[in-house]
Amino acid sequence: MGRRLGTVLDRLHPDRALDGKSSSDTSRPARAFSGEDPVYARNFGRVPARIVRVTGPYLYEVHTDDGLLWKRHIDQLRRRTTENFEPQTGEPHSTRDQTPEASLEDVPDPDPAPSEPPHPEPATTPALPEGPQDIPERTAELPPAPPSPEPCSQPRDTTTRCSGRERRCPTYLKDFSKDLEYVNSEYGKNAVRLLYVRREGKIHCIKELEVSLHIRLNNVNEYVNSDNSCVIPTDTIKNTIQAFAKCRGVRTIEEFGLDLCEHFLTHYCHVIYCNVFIQEVPWQRLEKDGVPHAHAFLYSSEGVRFCEVERNLNCPPNVFSGIKDLKIMKTTQSGFADFFKDKYTTLPDRRERVLSVESLIKWCYGDCKGCLDYDCLWRTAHEAALDAFAGPPETGHYSPSYQRTVNRIQTYILERIPQAEEVEVIMSNIHYCVAELDKLGLSNDMEVFTPQDTPFGACATTLRRKKGSEGEYLQSVECKPRHSVSWKSDHMMK
């Protein structure tokens, strides 16, 4: 055809506008406005305004009678004649122009203009001349334009409106909800970290803790009825933990947990249960030539000390202590043989191997009414676990499986700590395989090993004291780690 075909979108871009050859452009003369032309601008209705500046072939800046400056497209403007301009006390004025230029029949109008009164002049009256030269003499005599029926200059009401109707359970859930009940409903604040520094002259002592505290209320209105009047904010729980560290200090993490449980059960009458889990960062005082430093500390790898204190209203507390992230290894006197075999078994018997474990050890105290030296008891349990794993320093002892090592740890702790009622051990076995150096022409007499993080073996077991000669076990306390990582997860501790 020798030319580019035009589209409707081309008419929206001034630099791509057609030169007027389209039949739709020749059907009526083009509309345009000049400075100070009185117009009606669309804004959820028709607002009286005047042209201020032409910003493009179809774009204008208009100034409303309310003092607002708007940007409008030509299709959003309609010419306002002097006959339309009437005082506010008069009858409603017409917003339609009789000239062909002012016709907006092709533009959709969501808010139709007021009804048009009969015009004294015939429909063939020529249009008013456009341009600023015809308007100044007449605009000074014009009365102020009537206000818009929906003035946009008024500020909108941003107040949140809430329905006052009563909230009711859906009818189809009435019978269903009667058969349901909450078994447990705890909430709280996790991982509240703090560093407590106790200064005794030039000697400083530190405790870096991570505290998780959960409580249970005597109702579940916040779940069922959307009633938060009894809910203690978790931010309040965090502030309470920090305030108790300041006011009461931190001697041991077990005593700190007991103080927190006592506060929440006595200070709030609607709290019926409290559980506190605390773990302590293993900082040790730095020593040089056997002389301890006054205020310098070194991170230790002896394992992370933790405790858990739980208490119900009008009941004595249950105190648990433990060690986590305890990584120990021995390079001999360990094996695994004579195990059950079937067609899927490929593991050979091993009488000699490297035993490397990562353990979580947790023990619970019985009904001890007196004050306990928790620091001394924790060091005793820690030493018992190391002795059970390694044996005497000179000779050691053989471990036929890491399950047998777990049993030794539990037995040693119960023997050395009479206050402990039961001991739970969660242990993962990190495998070390002999590196294959035959391809390199080298022999490997169990000198080079390859550690394998995954897969790894894991076991979890609890040993408790018997009650009486009949062999009944104590049922009052269950030593189950609540906040520690499950033994089925990656190495349990990570």
Catalytic residue positions? 189, 234, 431
Closest CA to 271 of 282, 263, 281: 263
At a CB cut-off of 8 Å and minimum separation 6, what does 46 contact? 40, 78, 95, 111, 113, 148
CA 474/CA 370 separation, integer angstroms? 21
Is the preceding peptide bond at 455 cis, omega within 30 degrees of 0? yes
Asked if 276 and 309 touch (Cβ cutoff 8 Å), the reply is yes
- State the pairing for strand pair 38-42/46-54: antiparallel
Tell me whether residue 126 is exposed, middle or buried, using C-beta atoms within 10 angstroms of its C-beta: 0 to 12, 13 to 18, 19 or more.
exposed
* Helical H segments across 231-363, by residue range: 234-248, 253-267
What does the block give as tokens for 393? 């320093």
Longest dimension (CA), the chain: 123
Q: Please give the C-alpha separations between residue 355 and each of 298, 442, 486, in angstroms, as whole numbers.
A: 28, 24, 22
Residue type at 362? K
Given 3-state DSSP classes, what are the helix, strand and coil percentages for the chain, each rounded to the nearest 5?
A: 20, 30, 50
DSSP bridge pairs for 71: 61
Judge contact between 391 and 333, C-beta under 8 A.
yes
Beta carbons within 8 Å of 413's beta carbon, 6+ residues apart: 361, 363, 381, 384, 385, 420, 423
Return contacts of 238-247, CB within 8 angstroms, 24+ apart: 238/189, 238/192, 240/264, 241/189, 241/192, 241/194, 241/211, 241/213, 242/192, 242/194, 245/194, 245/196, 245/209
Strands (DSSP E) found in 218-354? 271-280, 283-288, 291-299, 304-312, 318-330
User: What is the C-alpha separation between 388 and 318, in angstroms, rounded?
Assistant: 26
Gap between the Cα atoms of 424 and 427, Å rounded: 10
